[in-house]
């Protein structure tokens, strides 16, 4: 006789997505479900296992002790299931072709993502796949996903877009920097008004709203890459924002210093994106899994 309390894979997938996105609201896009539908899935799963998996409320999302143990086994089960699916795909001979990924420039240096290791693991899973890795701006990435010129992308996106699924990954810290050749370098006490009077270099895809959020009304130079932005900052004629991980080596060499960190700093929310309706494709599913595993590992 069939056990009505049996756990199916869909319930496990919903549970893991909720954990990875730290709650029901965050998991909506990843699962393409409403929060009420996710709540029903979670209630069904807790009813089937017979214990509470997570606490949710004003204090935020938190796994119970049993929920932590169940998560460990769930991830193990999904890993085994994915391995089974990959084996089935391999037997079909469908593991070739080209997979096109886009990232922002300077992403390779970010330890929060560990992109080289992710690519290594992906290649080990699919050695016959021709990987096409591109450096694209956020808007170019979204356009590429929508017109199917890209299969997958990782970046910082200003807003949600129809037919594009976005899953949160991590936050990247940015500070406002000047070089050792800039007049502000030796000034340890500076005011906001003094700082905004100097020339600012920004990325070409920043608009007026982006500048205002960072504390400026306009820029005096624009660039297409992080390397170009660094070059203009190092010239001593411009100040500009850089990711903390990208500036660290120059900071250690005393070529850069952050300016008034209490006032000028922000966090860029990085996410992975792909076209709606493609989440079950084997390459996309595998890369999503590798990225989520890496994010969970870094969060511990």
Cβ-in-10-Å burial (0-12, 13-18, 19+) of 209 comes to: exposed
Q: What is the mean pLDDT of the chain?
A: 88
**What pLDDT was estimated at residue 185?**
95
Output the CATH code of domain 96-169+269-299.
3.40.190.10
**What pLDDT was estimated at residue 205?**
86
Which string of DSSP letters, residue by residue, matches 6-52? Answer: PPPHHHHHHHHHHHHTTSHHHHHHHHT--HHHHHHHHHHHHHHHTS-
**Per-residue pLDDT band at 21 (split at 50, 70, 90):** confident
**What pLDDT was estimated at residue 199?**
94
Using one digit for the tens of pLDDT, what is the confidence trace for 28-70?
888 888 989 999 999 999 999 999 999 877 767 889 999 999 9
| Residue written as token pair 């690519």 | 119
- Average pLDDT (147-151) is 92
**What pLDDT was estimated at residue 180?**
97
Task: Examine the pLDDT at 182 and tell me if it is beyond 90.
Answer: yes
If residue 247 lies in a helix (H) or strand (E), which one and from where to where?
A: helix 244-252
**Per-residue pLDDT band at 119 (split at 50, 70, 90):** very high
**What pLDDT was estimated at residue 55?**
85
| Main-chain dihedrals φ then ψ at residue 294, nearest 5 degrees | -65, -40
Residue extent(s) of CATH 3.40.190.10 domains in the chain: 96-169+269-299, 172-268
**Per-residue pLDDT band at 265 (split at 50, 70, 90):** very high
Task: Examine the pLDDT at 1 and tell me if it is beyond 70.
Answer: no
pTM: 0.69
Q: Which of 89-103, 112-126, 132-146 has the least mean pLDDT?
A: 89-103
- In CATH, what class is 172-268? alpha beta
Output the CATH code of domain 9-86.
1.10.10.10
**Per-residue pLDDT band at 95 (split at 50, 70, 90):** low
**What pLDDT was estimated at residue 141?**
95
**What pLDDT was estimated at residue 90?**
55
Using one digit for the tens of pLDDT, what is the confidence trace for 200-257?
999 988 888 888 888 898 899 999 999 999 999 999 999 999 999 999 999 999 999 9
- Average pLDDT (115-140) is 93
Residue extent(s) of CATH 1.10.10.10 domains in the chain: 9-86
| Residue written as token pair 């003094």 | 194
């Amino acid at each position: 006789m069939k056990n009505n309390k049996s756990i199916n894979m869909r319930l496990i997938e919903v549970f893991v997505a909720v954990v990875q996105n730290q709650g029901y609201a965050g998991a909506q896009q990843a699962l393409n479900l409403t929060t009420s539908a996710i709540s029903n899935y979670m209630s069904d799963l807790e009813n089937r296992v017979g214990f509470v998996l997570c606490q949710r409320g004003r204090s935020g999302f938190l796994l119970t002790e049993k929920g932590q143990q169940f998560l460990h086994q769930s991830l193990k089960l999904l890993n085994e299931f994915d391995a089974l699916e990959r084996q089935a795909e391999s037997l079909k001979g469908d593991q070739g072709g080209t997979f096109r990924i886009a990232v922002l420039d300077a992403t390779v240096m970010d330890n929060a993502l560990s992109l080289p290791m992710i690519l290594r693991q992906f290649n080990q899973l699919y050695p016959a796949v021709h990987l096409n890795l591109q450096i694209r701006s956020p808007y170019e990435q979204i356009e590429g996903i929508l017109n199917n010129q890209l299969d997958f992308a990782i970046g910082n996106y200003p807003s949600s877009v129809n037919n594009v699924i976005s899953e949160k990954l991590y936050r990247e810290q940015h500070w406002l920097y000047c070089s050792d050749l800039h007049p502000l370098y030796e000034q340890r006490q500076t005011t906001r008004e003094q700082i905004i009077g100097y020339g600012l270099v920004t990325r070409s895809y920043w608009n007026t709203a982006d500048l205002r959020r960072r504390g400026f009304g306009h820029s005096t130079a624009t660039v297409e890459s992080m390397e170009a932005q660094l070059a203009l900052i190092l010239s001593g004629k411009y100040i500009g924002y850089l990711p903390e991980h990208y500036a660290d080596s120059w900071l250690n060499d005393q070529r850069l210093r952050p300016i008034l960190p209490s006032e000028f700093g922000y966090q860029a929310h990085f996410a992975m994106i792909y076209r709606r309706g493609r989440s079950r494709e084997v390459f996309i599913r595998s890369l999503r899994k590798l990225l989520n595993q890496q994010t969970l590992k870094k969060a511990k």
